[in-house]
Chain A
C-alpha cells in the first residue's frame, strides 16, 4: 500500500496570504495525485487531478505541482472560503489511498 504523508498538519494563515501544502508518497506516483478540499459537514471537493490539472470550476488561485514522490498544492492568495481541510489522494493500480489531511485555519 502506498502511504501518503501530508505536512504540515495545521497551517495557520491570514486571508490574502499564500498557502503551500505538501504531500509525500512512499513510492513514486509519476503524476498520479489529486487534491481535495473539505469543509465541515460537506463531502470532499476535487480541486486538482493528475498532479496539476484543475478540476472544473476550480479558481485559478489553486495550483498543483510535483511528480514522483513529492507534490505541492499552492493557494496563491487565501480567500475566506478557503479555510478548510485539504487531502491528497493517489490511485495506483486501484489501491487508492488518501493522506491524513492538512487543516488550513485562520491565524
Chain B
C-alpha cells in the first residue's frame, strides 16, 4: 500500500535552516510528481511546492519562493523540503503529498510539525 513517512521537524530558532524528509513506498515513485503542503490553524491549508517525477520541474507557492527548495532522490524514493531563514510565520504542520493528475493530492504523509520560536 502507498505510504509516505515523514521525518524532520521540531522546534527551531528563527533564522536557522531545516530539512524535511519524506520516504515513499508502495508505488512506483519515479513516475509521480510530489508536493509539500502546509497547514496552520490561522491560515488553513497552503500549497508550498511541487517537483516533477524526474526532478526537472519545480514550482513554488508565493510564500515559498526564495527560501524553500524542493528536491527528490528517485534512487532512494525520497523527497525533501529545505527551508532557510526560518520565520515565525513558517510555523505549520508540513505534509508530503503525492500528485494525481498534475495538481490533485491523492496520498498524504502523516505530517511534520515545525515550530519556529526562540
A residues whose Cβ falls under 8 Å from a Cβ of B:
1, 32, 34, 36, 43-46, 49-50, 55-56, 87, 89, 91, 94-98, 100-101
Contacts and interface: CB of A to CB of B under 8 A. Distances in A.
B100 A49 contact: yes
Given A97-B47, A98-B46, 10 more contacts: A34-B105, A43-B108, A43-B110, A44-B45, A49-B100, A87-B44, A91-B104, A98-B44, A98-B47, A101-B44
B5 to A, nearest CB: 12
B100 A46 contact: yes
B70 to A, nearest CB: 12
A50 B47 CA distance: 18
Interface of B is mostly: strand
A82 B61 CA distance: 31
Contacts of B108: 43-45
Interface of B: 44-47, 50, 59, 61-62, 95, 100-106, 108-111
Nearest to A33: B104
A57 to B, nearest CB: 10
Nearest to A36: B105
Given A43-B109, A43-B111, A44-B108, A96 B101 contact: no
B45 A87 contact: yes
A49 B104 contact: yes
A44 B44 contact: no
B103 A96 contact: yes
Contact of B95 (A43, A50, A89, A97): A43
B61 A96 contact: yes
Contacts of A101: 44
Given A43-B95, A46-B100, A49-B101, A96 B47 contact: yes
Contact of B45 (A50, A91, A98): A98
Contacts of A89: 45, 104-105
A33 B39 CA distance: 19
B105 A44 contact: yes
B59 A94 contact: yes
